[in-house]
Amino acid sequence: MIALPLRGQQTPAVGGRSEISAGSELEDYLRVLQVVGAVPLYPWSVRSFSPRELDRLFPDSAHPWADHYDLKRRDHHGLALDLVRPALSARLNSAFPYGANDAPIWAGEGLTTAAQAGFTVRYGPLSLSVAPLVFRAENAAFPLLANGDSGKLVYANGLFPEAIDYPQRFGDRPYTVLDPGQSTLRLDAGPAAVGLSTANQFWGPAIEYPIILGNNAAGFPHVFLGTARPLDLRLFQVHGRLVWGRLFQSAFASETASTGVRFMAGLVGVLTARWVPGLEIGVSRFSHNPWPAGGLRFSDFTIPLRSENSANQAGTVADNQLASAFFRWVFPRSGVEVYGEYGREDYNIDLRDFIEEPDHIGGYTIGFRKIFRRPGGRLLAVRTEIQNTQIGILDLGRGQTPFYIHGGTPSQGHTYRGQLLGSDAGFGGAGAMLALDTYHARGRWTAWWSRVLRQDQASFVTTGAINPRALDVMHSLGASALWFRGRYDISAALTAVYELNRNFGADVFNVNLMVGVRADVGR
């Protein structure tokens, strides 16, 4: 039985400092505070943040959650130990899998439960976080889109079972995963940072629909080298990192000739300037390559820094590369942020090809948030975000594949262990969200509507036949809340999902329920 404090009873601030991962509740809360000027301007498009970065980002003024979380700035000397408070959650889907941006967790039909705990250690420039997560999905049966395959591949993607590792269902038994979670060993040595991590990364400014990399899948094992803070080059400040990682496929991928392991190499960088406060402009690049049979060579680590276009056109390299350019502009006096990202998954044959078709296998995300200060220290935020990566009219003159698929090797697409590394709406589809958030001293309330074009089978141009069920579209209407009750954070969400033409067939209704609790047990 959980003993909660009586109304009006004072309790000390609980944790929170060690629970700010890429795309997490607390990270977005700090972003909200930045938009209203309570947190200093700082690039938000290269995440996750290090403990030293968070020291600079914690608010130095009053904010709605100041009495609950320990988010005060402090000087760190000597050895510091903190706990990642234990968390339990349960998700229930009534008709089909539903859920996104929940890191390793895949919520199938039926009940999915998850648990997380851990600790952090800091000593001078060295920091370590260990926060593993385990989940178990009941993975009950539901109708699949027939893909023409047999064996384990019947669970693979319905339209492209052999071109992307994106299963409809993870087998016919309960699906359990133990993941290292948000774990990182990092050294900040002056202006540089180096580390080893399995934590999620968020590249670019998006909240819901990142094009290249977000927290829709688990964080993959990687090493990184970059700046510990933006480097001051007088006219500009530069911040970024190089990343090299190891990507695994699910048990339902079509790749059988090898282990299916891929080598990723990528970079993300942001440019800011004092004379345009609040503006950040950046680029990212992500490369998939089969893991070299003879082991990694020095040239593999320089992939993000060199062009592979000529080798790709000659067919002498088997890779899949994605790139994006993005911006974010914050106006703290107005409580406004605007942002956008444009991404590509294709090489251009030459300059003429780029001029003719710059949007070949391209897509974009745009977003806006306005925050109002309300009586009693409350914050009211209105936000919207739109993404479009659909196959466009260029398909009339040149073949295209859906975003996150390019060529035949590697055959797993832009995925990790069967989940999309970018946006859940980005697989050749589109997404839109409108949300209202209210932050107050006792937690948060959110209401939202979203539309996701999940699958597209339109073929009127080639067949001349109208197909009224060619678009698989999902509309969701939901509400969620976070309540502070003494040493406990209690969260809940209820979402009604109506999917039109699911798997190009009948409409299906799904109810998604989530409840969770995080407890401060260390004090």
Of 339, 31, 380, whose CA–CA distance to 209 is shortest? 339
What is the residue whose two structure tokens read 């609790």? 517
Burial environment of residue 504 by CB neighbours within 10 A (0 to 12, 13 to 18, 19 or more): middle
Extract the residue ranges of the chain whose pLDDT is less than 50: 1-10
pLDDT score for 460: 57
Contact status, residue 449 vs residue 433, Cβ threshold 8 Å: yes
What is the residue whose two structure tokens read 């936000």? 383
pLDDT score for 462: 64
* pTM reported for the whole predicted model: 0.92
Separation between Cα atoms, residue 480 and residue 513, nearest integer Å: 10
CB atoms within 10 A of CB 299: 9
Distance of CA 98 to the CA centre of its chain: 16
pLDDT score for 9: 42
What is the residue whose two structure tokens read 């600790």? 119
Task: Give the tokens for residue 212.
Answer: 């290249």
pLDDT score for 258: 67
User: What is 17-519's CATH number, 3.40.1650.10, 2.40.160.130, 3.40.50.150, 3.40.50.300?
Assistant: 2.40.160.130
User: What residue type is assigned to position 330 of the chain?
Assistant: V
pLDDT score for 306: 82
| Tens digits of residue pLDDT in 367-377 | 999 999 999 89
